[in-house]
Structure 1
Amino acid sequence: MAATGVGRTVERETASGVEVSPVAGHIGAEISGVDLTEELSEETVGVIRAAVLRWKVVFFRGQSLDHAGHVAFARRFGEPVVLPRRGSASPAGVPEIETTADRLELGGRFGMEHEEWLARRRHTLLRGWHCDHGARVDPPAATILRAETVPPYGGDTTWANLAAAYAGLSAPVREFVDGLRAEHRLGVGYQPRPGDDAYVRHLLDHQVATVHPLVRVHPVSGERVLFVNGYYVEQIEGLSRAESAAVLEMLLEQAVLPEYTVRFRWEPGSVAFWDNRATIHLAPGDNAHLGFPRTMHRVMLAGEVPVGVNGKPSEPITGTEAGRW
């Protein structure tokens, strides 16, 4: 249904007491009128599924999910991914959940403090934008992130709509990128420390790389999605390194234009549910110096092998056999 305001119409959908209220022009909606701890009806599940497909990321506030409830909710929409390696803050006995506690568990992990590790990884200003596990041959279809403890200010997360970004390209550029493929690899752009570098050894021991279409066709909506991010993409096949770098910079800048993004202010009990096939997101970088705790719990849902406009699927290079994350 549509609610009218002064001089404008507000798009809002309501079904069985569940209300979907968009919060930005191209991406993001808040869903109210649902308690995620309860047994959800098929109609409610359908409303949520449709909202994620339409708005790419949806937000719930004031939820009281525990770990078991988080996993149970996720299972209504797919099969949770089980990681063989998780952060040190992750709960024992709940393998579907990965927990980050202010990223403090990474401090000293590779012989350097988190700030140095982050600086060595981020070789461009857009390096932090990523989809979850995008170097895999079958990246997760969706992610459900739950906030336990958040700072009183700062710590927001931002998402970008990759389908809208693709549609916003000019017709000649869309035609150009439709047939391209790019290598996605862990550790792209990392600057090693002089001498022995524990993180380099980690990357070599756990390397994952895949050739993905630069434009993938969404398996449900059929939308064309600009499948690019600053975290994993190494190089566009068939282009020189200089050409590839220029094209990737242009496409990533297109993807994160403000009009294609939404920023979410977390509260304890907030839940974000996003389509990992059609979005990239940026974790906050404005709260590390504040000293406030930020504890988040994540469940990812198993996804498909991406397929390009020409019908050609992604191809694994290394470390992407089934079950390895």
Structure 2
Amino acid sequence: MSNPYRHLQTRPIAGALGAEIDGVDLSRELPAEVFEEIRRALHENLVIFFRGQRLTPQQHIDFSARFGELLEVPFVRALDGYPAILPVMKGKAETKRRLFGGLWHSDMSYAQEPPLGSALYGRVIPPYGGDTMWANMYRAYDTLSDRLKQMLDGLNAVHSAVRSYGSGGAVVNNGDPAHKMDVRTDDRAVQEVIHPVVRVHPATGRKALYVNSTYTLRFDGMTQEESEPLLQFLYEHAARPEFTCRFRWSEGALALWDNRCTQHLAMNDYDGFDREMHRTTISGDRPVGVALRV
């Protein structure tokens, strides 16, 4: 198969999404033509991976910031001296009710303007386990029946951080020294926002399913009980194996993904080992739904 890029070498890792990119040193300032091919590779593969990188926190920030302004993530203590870097950690002695990122989700869909994407860099990697999975939300939408698509195109859903970061939230530890991450709750955790169930990607124009089991509470205008059967179907449908890829981390690997058309899941299968990742989060815009025809 011919290489579709002039400056990159890409290798798909699964049929649904995901590609590794070789021959790029992210610690250097990339020429504009190389960066634009990386952006195109992201739009075409939804999540892209760079192995063998040696990045300082500032170099990680500098690369990520070429995609847009970086966000400071609420609820979680940032890396000392680098408010744009979220340390995602689990210590070898930790036990948790739920791993941070351990359910399918699109980052911060509880925000009025959810992130464009995220860049996650592997610093301490267990000898096995700790993989991350991604799912293609274009494909999740495209494979629905026409009748269900028609119905979903006209629906909105309510998103909130309450189940993760509210009082008693699944990943809140409020500074418990037994946990490496400091995850705290505040008033923002109970705020609700409304987003379209099907969002139109601003760069590709494609439709993507935009509900997730971590932050979506219910359909707008419906009760949770009324919403639950269809939402559960959509969650399970979106995570069908043929819609996913799975990445085995190595030290110095960086994953860059598009939150507008993917979901992801962190595997919690490495008890007894340390794992430390650094994440930057790239600002996005308010999701736009399908224009309804009159």
Residue identity in the other structure for 1:91: L
The SS at the match of 2:190 is coil
The SS at the match of 2:277 is strand
So what's the TM-score if we normalise by structure 2?
0.87
Give 1:46 shift.
0.9
Deviations along 1:33-59, one digit per CA (max 9) or x if unpaired, are 111111201111111101111111000
1:300 partnered with 2:290: no
Residue identity in the other structure for 2:200: V
Aligned-partner Cα distance in 1 for 2:92–2:260: 28
Structure showing greater relative contact order (alpha-carbon pairs closer than 8 Å, 6 or more residues apart): 2
Deviations along 1:251-296, one digit per CA (max 9) or x if unpaired, are 1111111111000000000000000111110011212x2x111000
Aligned-partner Cα distance in 2 for 1:189–1:222: 31
Aligned-partner Cα distance in 2 for 1:68–1:104: 27
CA-atom RMSD, angstroms? 2.6
Contact 1:185 1:232 in 2 (8 A): yes
Give 1:21 shift.
1.7
- 1:91 maps to 79
- 2:113 maps to 138
Structure 2 gap segments, 5+ residues each: 175-183
Aligned-partner Cα distance in 2 for 1:172–1:94: 48
So what's the TM-score if we normalise by structure 1?
0.79
- 1:20 maps to 10
Contact 2:106 2:264 in 1 (8 A): yes
Aligned-partner Cα distance in 2 for 1:205–1:29: 36
Residue identity in the other structure for 2:264: H
Give 1:129 shift.
0.5
- 1:226 maps to 209
The SS at the match of 2:43 is helix
Deviations along 1:203-224, one digit per CA (max 9) or x if unpaired, are 5564332011100111111111
Aligned-partner Cα distance in 2 for 1:39–1:263: 29
User: Identity of counterpart residues, as a percentage?
Assistant: 39
Contact 1:186 1:203 in 2 (8 A): no
Aligned-partner Cα distance in 2 for 1:190–1:145: 21
Give 1:77 shift.
1.4
Larger-gyration structure (1/2): 1
Runs of at least 4 residues of structure 1 off by over 6 A? 189-193
1:164 partnered with 2:139: yes
Structure 1 gap segments, 5+ residues each: 4-11, 108-113, 312-325
1:50 partnered with 2:50: no
Q: Work out which of the residue numbers 103, 106, 111 in structure 2 matches 1:128.
A: 103
- 2:162 maps to 187
